[in-house]
Amino acid sequence: MLILSMTIIVMDNTILNVAIPSLISDLHASNSQVQWIIDSYTLVFAGLLLTTGSLSDRFGRKGALQAGIVLFMAGSVFSALATSASQLIVTRAFMGIGGALIMPSTLSILTDVFRDPKERGRAIAIWAGFSGIGVALGPITGGLLLQHFSWSSVFWVNVPIGVLALIAGGMLLTTSRDPNQGKLDPLGSLLSMVGLGALLYGIIEVPVRGWSDSQVIAGFVVGILAIASFIAWELRIDHPMLDMHFFRNPRFAAANTAVTLTFFAMFGSLFLMTQYWQFVHGYSPLEAGVRLVPYALAMMIVAPLSARIVERMGSKRVIVIGLFLVTISLLLLSLLHRDTPYLIAIIPYCLLSAGVGMTMPPATESVMGSLPREKAGVGSAVNDTTRQMGGALGVAFIGSVVSSVYGHRVDSIAKTFGLSGQTLSEARSSLGGGLKAAGDLGDQALSFSIAVKDAFVAGLSSGLRLASIVVVLAAVVVWRYLPARGDDHVDESIDMATLELSSLVAGE
């Protein structure tokens, strides 16, 4: 049931990409509206995570999960019935509320059910493995549905899955909550929502508007000020929504760093490779989705195995090995060319998936295991928030590098092909725009298509090399600060929480 709930969230993040052409055609959506149809969900989802995680600890994780599923299904129905792009932006944001209740609840329930550190590590490994399946299922499911039905089918499919998850949860799950409940923290909730939402807005807008745009700068300024105020407030009050002393625990802090920067690399590379498969190789969305199956299988196989390796080597070594695999794979992917065969290109991509599959389970278990069980909801929310922020930063930073290199290359060949004005602006906006502009060049169309593809691949190489440097930094942080083995620390933390929760929180 937990896997069903988690899979529907992960799958929804990728399934909608396949429906973009249909949305543009049927709803007459502009490029900006298409972006916000996707990003309105992410903005609300990430902005609410800390609040919903805290609420699930207080009022019960099973209830939060079930409420999230109901809201997510309702949002899916509203989205399927939308008649305009503006309506769909709003209904997708509503789905984000449900997703924010579901995601931290699944991990916190899992942590509460599997209390033995070894069993918890194995369960989290399986949980992480199925997230890889969700990534691949999205484009495949979306492509199959759109071959026979309208774009609304990518939302209707969520309903039967949600109903099945609700029935299974009602039968199998028990209620758990934090027995040491303090006062509600409405100001902390507000500051976290404003801070995370504003930061994410700025990050989302960077690839479109650029780093110097006033709205981007305003988003970052408001976000930083709100987050700083949130930290100051949480340190001041007696019953904080998120105890900031948790970050003094090196296991908690280092593991969250690993999660953030791993998702930085994974989402950034996925963003680039999706365009590489579709625009450079010319695959349809469904064909590109099918070719992601080996990527998903690699994660599904390696993630459960990582738990057994951790039992022998400890979390620290396994996470560093996983980050090393991610680094190597990114460097290999940076060597791709315009005509690199799929069977060659997929090898380092599967290596990337294997590295993520080896890194994420022990990193996630380290985050959850470093906190008392009573705080599993907010701990899961922190883990999910770092994943979302890391992924968004990866797309923004790496996407900016690609755009810069690509735009510079297009400018350098513009005179050769006689490009200027609106045609040049369209060509340098994106690879898709470049290929569209090529259609207006007559006999030079093929040559220009090859040139813009080479320009994109050059940007891809630079972006992936940047991502590899970031992952190396994550490995250094983990090696320096993460304890070699966390099992003893986990048991001690749980025992201390049982005997004297307040003392542990004050001393972490």
Answer yes or no: are the C-beta atoms of 200 and 389 closer than 8 Å. Answer: yes
Q: Count Cβ atoms within 10 A of the Cβ of residue 164 and give its class: 0-12 exposed, 13-18 middle, 19 or more buried.
A: middle
Distance CA 426, CA 435 (A): 9
By C-alpha distance, which of 305, 390, 291 is closest to 345? 291
Span 377-390, average pLDDT: 80
Structure confidence at residue 492 as a pLDDT band (50, 70, 90): very low
User: How far from the centroid of its chain's Cα atoms is residue 477's Cα?
Assistant: 21
Answer yes or no: are the C-beta atoms of 56 and 102 closer than 8 Å. Answer: no
Structure confidence at residue 182 as a pLDDT band (50, 70, 90): low
Span 4-8, average pLDDT: 75
By C-alpha distance, which of 219, 229, 214, 228 is closest to 199? 219
Span 453-465, average pLDDT: 93
Q: pTM for the full model?
A: 0.80
DSSP code of residue 247: G
Q: What sections of 314-444 are H helices per DSSP?
A: 315-333, 342-369, 376-417, 421-429, 431-438
pLDDT for 61-88, tens place per residue?
888 889 999 999 999 999 999 999 899 9
Span 322-329, average pLDDT: 96
Q: Which of 84-98, 268-282, 294-308 has maximum average pLDDT?
A: 84-98
Span 398-413, average pLDDT: 86
Answer yes or no: are the C-beta atoms of 300 and 10 closer than 8 Å. Answer: no
Span 296-317, average pLDDT: 87
Span 391-413, average pLDDT: 85
For 183-189, which contacts have Cβ atoms below 8 Å and span 24 or more sequence positions?
A: 183/238, 183/239, 184/58, 185/54, 185/234, 185/237, 185/239, 185/240, 185/241, 187/233, 188/230, 188/233, 188/234, 188/237, 188/240, 188/241, 188/242, 189/50, 189/51, 189/54, 189/241
Q: Which residues contact 51 (CB under 8 A, 6 or more apart)?
A: 100, 189, 192, 193, 241, 381
pLDDT for 18-30, tens place per residue?
777 778 778 887 6
Say how many Å lie between the first and final Cα of the chain, rounded: 33
Is the pLDDT assigned to residue 115 strictly greater than 50?
yes
Distance CA 21, CA 37 (A): 13
Is the pLDDT assigned to residue 488 strictly greater than 80?
no
Please report, to the nearest 10 degrees, the dihedral formed by the alpha carbons of residues 292, 293, 299, 301 taken in order. -160
Is the pLDDT assigned to residue 101 strictly greater than 80?
yes
Q: Quote the mean pLDDT of the chain.
A: 82
Structure confidence at residue 122 as a pLDDT band (50, 70, 90): confident
Look at phi and psi of residue 116 and say left if phi exceeds 0, alpha if psi is from -120 to 50, else beta.
beta
Is the pLDDT assigned to residue 461 strictly greater than 90?
yes
Span 202-216, average pLDDT: 82
Q: What is the pLDDT of residue 500?
A: 31
